[in-house]
Chains A and B, each alone.
Chain A
Amino acid sequence: MDNIAIVGIAQTKYERRKKDKTYLDLVYEMTTAALDDAGLTINDIDSVVTVSNDFLDGRTISGMAVGDAAGAYDKNISTVEGDGTFGAFYGAMRVLGGAGTTLVVAHSKGSEGDIKTVTNAMFDPIYQRHLGIEGITSSAIQANAYMHKYGITEEELAAVSVKNHANAMNNPHAQLPLDLTLGDVMDSEMISDPLKKLDCSPVSDGAAAIIIADEEQAKKAKKPPVWIKGFAHCADEYLLGDRDLADPRALREAAEKAFAMAGIDEPMGGIDVVELYDAFSYMEPLWLEGMGFCAPGKGAQLLLDGITAMDGTLPVNPSGGVLSAHAVLVAGLARIVEVVEQLRGTAGARQVKGAKTGLAHGINGPCGQSHCVWILSKEMRG
């Protein structure tokens, strides 16, 4: 693979409701901010990938509606309906394919629709949708399967919520910076067993953008480019009951491919910081297992041992993660933006000292049906 890099980034503060901003406002602001970050103008952008979902936006062909705000006039624009990491994947493929410098911008306003109704609609209309299942209850089934398989306790998962909300206190973009105790999480309202309110990510409004460029353009960028050393995407079966929900095999496949591309033989030694898609507390340890940072069933132990804490050897979600802000579709792109900040050394109070190589991760489909893994680095591919 040729060397390509992320040369511009932007993200909003995430809030429960941005009543003073439309989708277009958010997309325009993030496009402008990412261009400014990169030291580019809209004329330097050759191709545009927008990330949107028709049900979330309350309109069809929602991707085209934000074209003007994304500076896509007279340009090659296309849309990904899925998490922002998948939008970025498409953007990176465009750059590798010779389409030139590419902007990827994701937006969503969870406040304007009904997230439960929207996530219910991702389920099969013949066999599952009429049962009323949606994002939270399906994930609760996955949490149950995971806990049952490995004997993981609710307290072990509550500890993830405590850690990530505390990390969010160092992140000015986070929606839920919270100083919690295990008791606070355990005593929070039971939503769908075993998930309590503080095990669940919030409904959020927000947007983010990145600009990807080839080696020649990246070397001219205003800020040090963050190089894409490996990226991979893999999907599992669609129906929940067809999968082993406690075994994220699609993530294992994607992570192995991404690590191989990046020339990393041993994940724990090769990665300095992880930003992963923890829409629910149980997802952090489960995804860490899938990424190969520990054996299956041992993800929760990483936190108990302090390894994934800010001062541990593998800080996970220094930003506070998705538990602290969950603008759907945007959240995965935000993981990439956060890792870029870490590798630039500009992450402020949430900076992981000396971070050189980081992993960003996004999911799409119910219960992590598909996974996208990014290995980003201060150094180019060898």
Chain B
Amino acid sequence: MAQWLENVEPLTLKGQIAVPYTWWVGDTGSRFLNAVRHEEKIWGTRCETCDAVFVPPKKNCGRCFSSLDQWVEVGTEGMVTAYTIVRFDHPMHPVKGPFAYALIQLDGADVGLLHLITEDLDKLTNGVRVKARFKEKSQRTGHILDIENFQII
């Protein structure tokens, strides 16, 4: 540190980047979220070339670059393929800790959907079966958290 700095009061300036943003969810995302909101159903898209069903759905396959337009309803139950139990709190967490993030391979899907598990954490293991718990219909807005969390079966 330069010597003259010892005689100067160091200043800091507080601020933040807070930019309002409205994301267009897209036609694929809108179809997925509306099915969750109105029907308590979960849909994915299938890549024939890779023989894989993606949830959330995507418009093109990230692996083979094919355009995907084949919709497949998958189960609201599935298997935890990987998880972590979160031990710290942060304002951006939707629930208080401890809770878990899990990758859930829904029945009929070939990839993991990232979501929350908030109860029975002592029963959480790789391979455990879980089921989606949807929010009350009046509370659903077409948001990924219209699925409130997944419950261990």
Closest A residue to B10 by CB, please name it.
A19
Encoded as 1 (CB less than 8 Å from any A CB) or 0, chain B from 129 to 150 comes to 0000000000000011100000
**Given the complex, which residues of B lie within 8 Å of A189, measured CB to CB?**
87
Contact B101 A141 (CB under 8 A): yes
Known interface pairs A131-B115, A133-B101, A240-B103; A192-B15 also in contact (CB < 8 Å): no
Q: Does B123 contact A (CB under 8 A)?
A: no
Whether B114 contacts A140 by the Cβ 8 Å rule is no
Kindly state the separation between the CA atoms of A116 and B144 in the bound complex, as whole angstroms. Answer: 21
* Interchain nearest-CB distance for B45 vs A (Å): 12
In the complex, chain B residues whose CB is within 8 Å of the CB of A240? 103, 112, 114
CA distance A57 to B86 in the complex (A): 27
Could you tell me if A144 and B86 are in contact, using CB atoms closer than 8 angstroms?
no
Chain A residues with Cβ under 8 A from B90's Cβ? Answer: 116, 132, 134
Is there an interface contact between B5 and A20, defined as CB atoms closer than 8 Å?
yes
Annotate A137-169 by CB proximity to B: 1 below 8 A, 0 otherwise. Answer: 110111111001000000000000000000000
Q: Determine the interface band of chain A, counting residues with CB < 8 A from chain B.
A: 35 or more
CB pair B111 A241 closer than 8 Å: yes
Residue of B nearest to A123 (CB): B114
Asked if B7 CB lies within 8 Å of chain A CBs, one says no
Q: Is the CB of B63 within 8 A of A127?
A: no
Judged by a CB distance under 8 angstroms, whether B71 is at the interface is no
Shortest distance between the CB of B47 and any CB in chain A (Å): 11
Say yes or no: A144 contacts B83, CB within 8 Å. yes
Give the size of the chain B interface in residues (CB under 8 angstroms).
46
Q: With the chains together, A193 CA to B124 CA distance in Å?
A: 12
Is A58 interfacial (CB-CB < 8 Å)?
Answer: yes
Majority DSSP secondary structure for residues of A touching B: mixed
B23, B86, B113, B144: the one within 8 Å of A137 (CB): B86
Residues of A within 8 A of B62 (CB): 237-238, 242
> Contact partner of B144 among A117, A130, A134, A193, CB < 8 A?
A130
Chosen A-B contacts, 28 in total, with CB atoms closer than 8 Å, are A20-B1, A20-B2, A58-B15, A116-B92, A117-B92, A120-B92, A126-B33, A126-B144, A128-B114, A130-B144, A131-B144, A133-B101, A133-B114, A134-B90, A141-B101, A142-B82, A144-B82, A144-B84, A144-B126, A145-B81, A145-B82, A193-B84, A193-B87, A237-B62, A239-B111, A241-B111, A245-B82, A245-B103
Are the CB atoms of B101 and A131 closer together than 8 Å?
Answer: yes
Q: A131-B114, A192-B87 are in contact. Are A20 and B17 (CB under 8 A)?
A: no
Contact with B along A39-64 (1 / 0, CB 8 A): 00000000000000011001110000
Contacts of B115 in A (CB 8 A): 131
Q: Are B103 and A241 in touch, CB under 8 angstroms?
A: yes
Known contacts A141-B101, A241-B114; is-contact A192 B84 (Cβ 8 Å)? yes
A97 interfacial contact with B, CB 8 Å? no
With CB as the reference atom, state the residue of chain B lying closest to A57.
B17
The contact string, 1 if C-beta is below 8 Å from chain A, for chain B 21-44, is 101011001000100000000000
Asked if A190 is at the interface (CB within 8 A of a chain B CB), the reply is: yes
Nearest CB of chain B from residue A190's CB, rounded to whole Å = 5
Closest A residue, CB atoms, query B33: A126
Could you say which residues of chain B place their CB within 8 Å of the CB of A54?
17
Indicate if B56 sits at the interface (CB-CB under 8 A). Answer: yes
Residues of B within 8 A of A122 (CB): none
Does A307 count as interface, using CB distance less than 8 angstroms?
no
- For A194, the closest partner residue in chain B by CB is B84
CB distance from A239 to the nearest CB of B (A): 7
Interface string of A166-205 (1 = CB under 8 A from B): 0000000000000000000000011111110000000000
Query: In the bound complex, do residue B87 and residue A141 qualify as a contact, i.e. CB atoms below 8 Å apart?
Result: no
Question: How many Å lie between the Cα of A20 and that of B105 in the bound state?
Answer: 49
Which residues of chain B are near A58, meaning CB under 8 Å?
Answer: 15-17
Tell me whether A191 and B101 are in contact in the complex, defined as CB-CB below 8 angstroms, given that A126-B23, A145-B82, A242-B54 are known contacts: no
